[in-house]
Amino acid sequence: MVHPDFTILFVDNPLKSADVYQSLLGVEPVERSPTFVLFVLPTGLKFGLWSRHTAQPPVTAASGSSEVCVKCDSIADVDRIYADWSSLGLRVLQMPVELDFGYTFVVADPDGHRLRAYAMTGA
């Protein structure tokens, strides 16, 4: 059995993206260079930002073809995170809404990666 423990987003400028993700994640990176930034979250998950211009093998996928999802405990938490993230100037792709699986919204980071926060509501 495998247990994924590391997610990498390919970005145009890792240092610029690191500033956004430091605000979103509430933690400072443990590694920071012009081509790669690494965060280690309290859960142990490693979250990297790698320059799409230096990644090997070369990156061919477009941004926005997947999502980074954050599970919240309540609708109030989703609304709080929406207010926090939208105040950072992130492009809102979906305002808070009730969907089949729960209450959610989606924003895009500066590179177009989709970021979703949600709370399961049993809808």
Q: Would you say the pTM of this structure is higher than 0.85? A: yes
Same domain, 43 and 18: yes
Question: For residues 51 and 94, what is the distance between their CA atoms, to the nearest angstrom?
Answer: 27
Predicted confidence band of residue 53 (pLDDT cuts 50, 70, 90): very high
Q: What is the mean pLDDT of the chain?
A: 93
Question: For residues 59 and 62, what is the distance between their CA atoms, to the nearest angstrom?
Answer: 8
pLDDT at 18 over 90: yes
Domain interval for residue 106 = 67-120
Q: Would you say residue 61 lies in a domain?
A: no
Domain count, the chain: 2
Predicted confidence band of residue 123 (pLDDT cuts 50, 70, 90): low
Kindly compute the dihedral angle of the four CA atoms of residues 11, 61, 95, 70, in this order, to the nearest 10 degrees. Answer: -70
Same domain, 46 and 79: no
Q: Which of these ranges, 33-37, 39-43, 118-122, has the smallest mean pLDDT?
A: 118-122
